[in-house]
Amino acid sequence: MTLLRFEQPLMTQHYSQPSTQAPASAGSPDDYLPGMPYRHYKGGAYAIAGLGRIESDLSQVVVYEAMRDRSQLWVRPLDVFSQSVDTPQGPQPRFAPDWPAALDCLDFLPRAAVLQVLACYDAPYRRYHDRQHVLEMFAVAQARGLALTPAQALAVLFHDAVYVPGCEHNEAASAALIETMAQGVDTAAMSLAARIVMDTCGHRASTPESALVLDLDLYRLAAPAADFDAYTRAVFEENRTLLANRSGLAGDALYAGFMQRRIAFLQALAQRPQLFLSPAFSDCEAPARANIARMAAGG
């Protein structure tokens, strides 16, 4: 759901197609797809950037990034990356694939396709509508024991796949992307998923299947106060440049202008009888309204 709106539409983002080439040795073809998450045996989280070769001997290497600091790329020989190491608990893989269990509801799609869509969320300007947000939606559904249908799972995956601050066509572009990137999926499921994505534009359910996805999308409104404030700051950072260019403001005045817009948007949303549409999220209603009221009061 777009949390701050402006008048003029902007260009949509470009995304890259990850390679599906399998490594010559250890692992399955899916193991080294760009974006594939891994966990180091000491606990660190990493993601594959790709495979490469050493120029001098053409030996294969794995290029990867640490999720705690994505500004650097790391390189290890493929056989070292995939080997086991001895630990007090016994032999363990040095790096083990760490595909989130919350994404099991997307098993009707190839992992390469899921990673391609998730890559759409990684543009540097995305501070709120990013990969973390969409993965969190899947994790919340799993934690609450909510079984997503294929159409709902597709809608969660694609709902912000195209996101440009200030653009009024993000949801339509994201919905249109489903048919392009979800190969082999039932046509009816894709059509329903696109409809749900369009419902996130105004947070109004045109079909019963939309309610759960809309509630997952708004879940952060019910976050603890400190997290809610951090999300507000992320929305500001995502829109900072656009708002500065269009308003001519800077510094504290720019942030005040942003907050005025955000408070107005959330207060309008709070005028509805219900923020959360499904019984599974009834416990989120009060904390979400408390966060909105606190923000409006300057707290």
CATH of the domain at 116: 1.10.1300.10
C-beta separation of 121 from 130 below 8 A: yes
pLDDT, position 26: 54
Please check whether residue 288 lies inside any domain of the structure.
Answer: yes
Neighbours of 253 (CB within 10 A): 12
φ, ψ of residue 233 in degrees (nearest 5) = -65, -35
Query: Is 286 part of a structural domain of the chain?
Result: yes
Model pLDDT, residue 176 = 98
- Mean pLDDT across 34-38: 95
Q: Return all residues near 236 (Cβ < 8 A) that are at least 6 apart.
A: 255, 258, 259, 262
Among 107, 17, 96, CA closest to 64: 96
Residue at 213 is within a domain? yes
Indicate the number of domains in the chain.
2
Q: For residue range 133-181, what is the model confidence (pLDDT) as tens digits?
A: 999 999 999 999 999 999 999 999 999 999 999 999 999 999 999 999 9
Q: Does 135 fall in a domain?
A: yes
Query: 216 and 276: one domain?
Result: yes
Closest among 85, 128, 153, 116 to 14, alpha carbons compared: 116
My answer on whether 116 and 237 are in the same domain is: yes
In a domain, 142, yes or no: yes
Domain boundary pick from 97, 117, 132: 97
In a domain, 6, yes or no: no
Q: Is there a single domain that holds both residue 197 and residue 71?
A: no
Say what the pLDDT of residue 299 is: 77
Q: Which of 66, 97, 128 is the last residue of a domain?
A: 97
Using alpha carbons only, what angle is made at residue 63 by residues 106 and 163, rounded to the nearest 5 degrees?
45
pLDDT digits (tens, 9 = 90+) for 58-117: 999 999 999 999 889 999 999 999 999 999 999 999 999 999 999 999 999 999 999 999
| Domain endpoint, select from 74, 97, 120 | 97
CATH classification at residue 56: 2.30.30.320
Edge-first strand order for the sheet with 45-53 is 69-77, 60-66, 45-53, 37-40, 95-97
Domain that holds residue 71: 37-97
Query: Among 51-60, 65-74, 203-212, 275-284, where is mean pLDDT lowest?
Result: 65-74
Average pLDDT over residues 269-289: 97
Query: Is 183 in the same domain as 256?
Result: yes
Among all chains, which residue has been given the structure tokens 């594959």? 48
Tell me the backbone φ, ψ of residue 40, rounded to 5 degrees: -70, 150
* φ, ψ for residue 45, nearest 5 deg: -100, 135
